[in-house]
Amino acid sequence: MADSTISLLAAALYLAATAGLVRSLRADPERGRAALWLAVPAIVLHVAAHAMGWSRLHGPDLHFFAALSLVALGMAAMSTLAAATQRMAALGVLVYPLAAAMVVLYAFAGHGHAEALDWRLQLHAWLALLAYAALAVAALIAIALWFQDRALRARELHGWMRALPPLVQLEALLFRSLWASFLLLSAALLTGIVFVENLLAQHLWHKTVLSVLSWLVLAALLFGRWRYGWRGARAVKLTLTSMLLLGLAFFGSKYVLEVLLHRGM
């Protein structure tokens, strides 16, 4: 089908961008941005694959594999934007292969059905997906920050570490990503409270509780950063904890209901 072909083309371009990034970063970390131009058409084709699928189904498809692909799409777009404005091209080496895998999985693992959502519930769903994408990118930055800090302490800053921005700049980028995640998740929770009926219903209570816990961890981290200057390993652990909670809230419940039990959300 046409959208499957587009998904394969998007995956091929993502992988070509990854190969270009690896090659350029090995030669000169400062040249890493040149390979990002291959990622831009990949992102456009990734969007087109979902648009064509939704057109065929006459509505938004937000089943498990589609949601994974949309989160990967958001991560790819955010990573490309970060690389274009910061020295973060190395982030694409991790994100682009993930996006390639997810768009292929979306194309061939079977499409779901169109969700009967009005604009308010669609807004809530989009905010939740964007919040997780931003938090996943923040988690990758946090892990890179942890490795860079360890390398600096051991005086072994070599290889791909040289492709990262300075530690202070990387830390600032992490907390900007965390603030974006916090604001998006806050908006998602607010729209859920306002627009979703029976938010604590059987299929939603665990999702709601885990999402609130993720929000509380993020809030605690950002407050600790502002009040006590939290950084380093503590920031990494809390970032990963928040991402894990949000992942369980959204994808854990969708996997059990849609993949294992073959039931809609």
Dihedral over Cα of 26, 167, 133, 40: its sign: negative
Query: Distances in Å between the alpha carbon of 63 and those of 54, 101, 115, 206, 238?
Result: 12, 16, 8, 18, 29
Q: Splitting the chain (265 residues) into consecutive groups of 10 residues, what average pLDDT does each group show?
A: 85 93 72 74 95 83 88 95 79 92 88 71 89 95 88 70 78 94 95 74 73 96 94 91 91 70 54
Name, in order, each residue with C-beta under 8 angstroms of 233's C-beta and a sequence gap of 6 or more: 146
**How confident is the model at residue 158, as a pLDDT?**
62
**How confident is the model at residue 209, as a pLDDT?**
87
**How confident is the model at residue 201, as a pLDDT?**
54
**How confident is the model at residue 160, as a pLDDT?**
64
Geometric angle at alpha carbon 21, from 233 and 158, rounded to 5°: 50
Which CB contacts under 8 angstroms, 24+ apart, belong to 233-241? Answer: 233/146, 235/142, 235/145, 235/171, 235/174, 235/175, 236/142, 236/143, 236/145, 236/146, 239/135, 239/138, 239/139, 239/142, 239/174, 239/178, 240/139, 240/142, 240/143, 241/217
**How confident is the model at residue 240, as a pLDDT?**
95
Q: DSSP H helical segments within the chain, as ranges? A: 2-27, 36-57, 64-85, 91-108, 119-154, 167-195, 205-228, 232-247, 253-254
**How confident is the model at residue 179, as a pLDDT?**
97
